[in-house]
Amino acid sequence: MAEPVIELTEVCREFPAQPPVRALDRVTLRVGRGDYLAITGPSGSGKSTLLNVLGLLDRPSTGSYRLDGVETTTLRDGARTRLRADRIGFVFQAFHLLSHRSVVENVMLAEVYRRRPGTIRQRRARAMAALERVGVAHRADFAPGLLSGGERQRAAIARALMGEPSLLLCDEPTGNLDSRNTEAVLGLFDELRGQGLTIVVITHEQEVGARAGRRVRITDGVPAEEA
């Protein structure tokens, strides 16, 4: 396998409850650079919990998570936040674009959390390049509400790409899209993967899973590789 981006070893995530909920149960998972992995599973099986752990938004209760070779479970909050900003882009079902900002401003805002040097003009140029990359530069000065669902999701992907992440984590990225826009987003994922990005997608949709190179199905917090 290619050099690993994600290495989870015996990861458990337990939530305190009566009795405790074991949302991830001794998960061992490796994802190589340039892999395109789809994660499926029934409601409550642990998909979002896994994505939160992978995205450094949550910590495992036990076990090890190495991201790009860095053991993350022992990092302090500040270092985890920097690692997340440097390595990970997020794409969500609901886009999460600010309605009172233009598309390009939304993309520029991705850098608020990064200490990246440069003037506003340089930031805008980087945002425009990201919008070019996803094919919606012609909508840069529109309000997000004027865009189609597919265009909005592509703008959200441009925002995720601003930090030049090595890993793109997507939670139901096509859940709000019709089949034509789903196809446009999946085509974009194919392209990004061709450029070396590692992509992990949570999905309920057969057609999304079918496009990924690898499929893992989680049941009761335990992932299993599918053919």
Ligand X SMILES: Nc1ncnc2c1ncn2[C@@H]1O[C@H](COP(=O)(O)OP(=O)(O)OP(=O)(O)O)[C@@H](O)[C@H]1O
Residue 21 or 57 having the CB closest to ligand X: 21
Write the binding mask 49 to 88 for ligand X: x where contact by CB under 6 A, - elsewhere.
Answer: x---------------------------------------
Residue 48 binding ligand X, by CB under 6 A: yes
Per the listing, tokens 């987003």 go with 185
**Contacts of ligand X in 103-142 (CB under 6 A):** none
Of the candidates 46, 150, 165, 209, which one interacts with ligand X according to CB under 6 A?
A: 46
Residue 48 binding Mg ion, by CB under 5 A: yes
Distances (CA, A) of 69 to 102, 145, 182, 199: 37, 40, 33, 17
Residue 64 binding Mg ion, by CB under 5 A: no
The tokens for 97 are: 């674009």
Residue 159 binding ligand X, by CB under 6 A: no
* Count of residues that bind Mg ion according to CB under 5 A: 1
User: Which residue stretch of 39-47, 75-83, 97-105, 190-198 sits at the interface with ligand X (rule: CB under 6 A)?
Assistant: 39-47
Residues that bind ligand X (CB under 6 A): 15, 17, 21, 23, 41, 43-49
